[in-house]
Amino acid sequence: MRRMFAYTVLIAAGTIVPGLRASDCSNDRLRGAYSFLASGTVNGMPFATTGQTLYNGDGAAAGIIQASVGGGLRGGPNSPPVPWTATYSLTTMLVGNGQTVCVLNKTITIPAWNMDISFFGTAGDDFRELRFIATTPGATVSGTARRQ
């Protein structure tokens, strides 16, 4: 258990934007198109997804998503990507020694799949890349998103 915790801390330490001022960590830092790739399990089924997010800079986002669940496309073999919407917030978090990091909390709604899922994330490379994990019970998903 300690080894897993230490490993998690090491990974997280490499995914944050250190030394930010509170003004650097506002919703308007996320603006524009990000392509994403994520995988894991949802309700015990293998899950892989890709898509694109358009962040508005005001705490709202929208995009498209395509997913493979249990080895097949969600919705059937010829299913097109589906639209989704989201709300998000960026907040500054004090981590010690006066250092702060910017963290992302986001909830997406996928009407076609009757699904809401929440995420915790961090930004790297001056918000050119996002790294995230699902926080919704039953979802063990992690992924990255890159600004286009």
Domain boundaries, the chain: 2-147
Is there a contact between 130 and 21 (Cβ–Cβ < 8 Å)? no
pLDDT of res. 111: 96
Mean pLDDT of 75-96: 91
Summarize pLDDT for 21-67 with one digit per residue, the tens: 545 799 999 999 999 999 999 989 999 999 999 999 999 999 999 99
Residues 98-127 as b or e (16 or more Cβ within 10 Å = b)? eebbbbbebebebeeeebebbbebbbeeeb
Token couple for 133: 């994990």
**Residues 6 or more apart from 111 whose CB is under 8 A from it?**
82, 83, 84
Mean pLDDT of 92-106: 90
pLDDT of res. 62: 98
Q: What average pLDDT does the chain have?
A: 86
CATH top class, domain 2-147: mainly beta
Asked whether residue 147 carries a pLDDT value surpassing 90, the answer given is yes
This prediction has a pTM of 0.81
